[in-house]
Amino acid sequence: MEKSVISEWERHGCIGVLTINNPPQNYLEGFQLALLEDLKRWTNDASLKGMIITGKGRHFCAGFDKEDLFKMTNRELLLEELRKNNAIPYYIEELPIPVVAAIAGVCFGAGLELALSCHIRVCSEKVLLSFPETGYGIIPGLNGAIRLPGKIGACRALEMVLAGKIINADEALELGIVDFVLPSKKVFDFSLSLLEKTVNKNSIDVIRSIMKSVNNTRKMPFEAATEKETEIFANLVFARHKMLQERN
């Protein structure tokens, strides 16, 4: 096992597991989940086919500790810290492997923003999700108000963020914030099994190509994304043809 800030990293075969370990509520420490360079080192492995992010103990992540947040008196230092930590969910979102958030207990603020950057969200029946920041006179700090409308639409996102509404597992599933709901004790095992069944029979090249196409839909116009997918398809066909020729 390796560690970085409040995160622990270990491998389950071809699946990497990042565990947020800062009990009891797994607050981010000084706004940090892990150092970006450590996360890059852990995930820059040709044998890695998928990743799970989970929380140690009862909770996923309660976000920033507001007491630490409001101790910041230097605006430029705060901006520097936020920009540095904004790079983490963006990096996760752009990974060329599927990332599952295995969520239990409290998933608030920056914790929910982290979960939204994952490609698949599995949660427990007793999970609670919220952006409570407006109650402190601020807004979500890691682009939650940007990512959430893409999942549930602007109307529902505004209601959730502006009201600081706490939603349960059933409502989260209905809204489309999460993809699966299970008993707490089954969340991690289901997440691991889901990833293994999804990626085990596929090559790294196929997995990365599919993830690239999926990620392109978020950041490119439709026509540009389809052109890129056509190129990816042609590259895979050519690579397959070349491999078969070499075998013969």
Tell which residue, 131, 196, 204, has the closest CA to residue 163.
Answer: 131
Asked about 94 being catalytic, the answer comes back as: no
Tell which residue, 80, 86, 7, 79, has the closest CA to residue 41.
Answer: 7
Asked about 159 being catalytic, the answer comes back as: no
The CA distance from 204 to 207, in Å, is 5
Catalytic, out of 8, 80, 93, 113 = 113
Q: What are phi and psi of 240, to 5 degrees?
A: -65, -45
Catalytic, out of 8, 10, 133, 174 = 133
- The answer to whether 155 touches 97, Cβ cutoff 8 Å, is no
Which residues form the catalytic set?
113, 133
